[in-house]
Amino acid sequence: MMRKKHELIFAAGLILAILISNTVGIIRDGRRLDRLRGSVLRLHILAESDSDRDQQLKLYVRDALLESSILGEADSLAEAESIAAERLPDIERIAETVLRANGCELPVEAELADTEFDVRTYGDITMPAGTYRALRVKIGSAQGHNWWCVMYPSLCVPAACEVTDDKQEELEKFGDEELDILYEPEKYEIRFAIWDKITEIRKKLVVQSDENSERA
């Protein structure tokens, strides 16, 4: 009987140690994810429709914006956002010039916005799902499939008819932890899902607490 009791205590201790270890891992990796999300400005171009022509026009706009180096030599996300905010009219002008040259009279609207993204793979990197700051370029009614990449750091490089990811920029701008997430996201799927759920619940509790305080 005493032996069984010791075995139960040992098993309970082992389970507790595993739970604590997993919790520490979830928190650590969740904070890495938050840092990654908070260090990039994504480029999000939405086409008028899914027609072949509208999708091709979207790519023409993409190429023009990438070749324009609109953000210059921004050294931080804050600086990249500031430049983008100031140059929204220029971004719209560049896009509309390309459209007009290709016989399209649709208007373009550019904005900076917090945008919810699904998991997106581009080249060899995968950006986890979540909310990111994005430079959104909407062509016409913006009802078609979209194209995305990372505007800051400048990971999108035009190369002939394709766009590739800039390996050197990735190495310079991201640390080993962020690169591991970008290149091997499957290792973190469960932990990220748990972290996002915890974050969602925490935000709801904060809102509820604020509402209760206002009523008091």
Q: What is the DSSP letter of 188?
A: G
- The ranges assigned to domains in the chain are 37-177
Q: Dihedral (C-alpha) 165, 169, 172, 176: value to the nearest 10 degrees?
A: -10
| Burial class of residue 139 in the structure, from the number of CB atoms within 10 Å of its CB (0-12 exposed, 13-18 middle, 19+ buried) | buried
- What pairing do the DSSP bridges indicate for beta strands 41-46 and 130-139? parallel
Per-residue pLDDT of the chain (216 residues; tens, 9 = 90+): 555 554 445 444 444 444 455 677 778 888 888 888 888 999 999 999 999 999 999 999 998 998 888 877 788 888 989 999 999 999 999 999 999 999 999 999 999 999 999 888 877 888 898 999 999 999 999 999 888 888 888 887 665 456 666 777 787 778 888 888 888 888 888 888 888 887 887 777 777 766 666 666
Helix (H) or strand (E) holding 112: strand 108-117
Per-residue confidence (pLDDT) for residue 10, from 0 to 100: 41
Q: What is the DSSP letter of 169?
A: H
Rounded to two decimals, what is the model's pTM? 0.76
Amino acid letter, residue 127: M
Q: Which SS3 state, helix, strand or coil, does residue 24 take?
A: helix
- Residue 174's region, left for phi above 0, alpha for psi from -120 to 50, else beta, is beta
Count the Cβ atoms, other than its own, within 10 Å of residue 15. Answer: 10
Q: What's the rounded Cα separation, in Å, for the pair 147 and 159?
A: 16
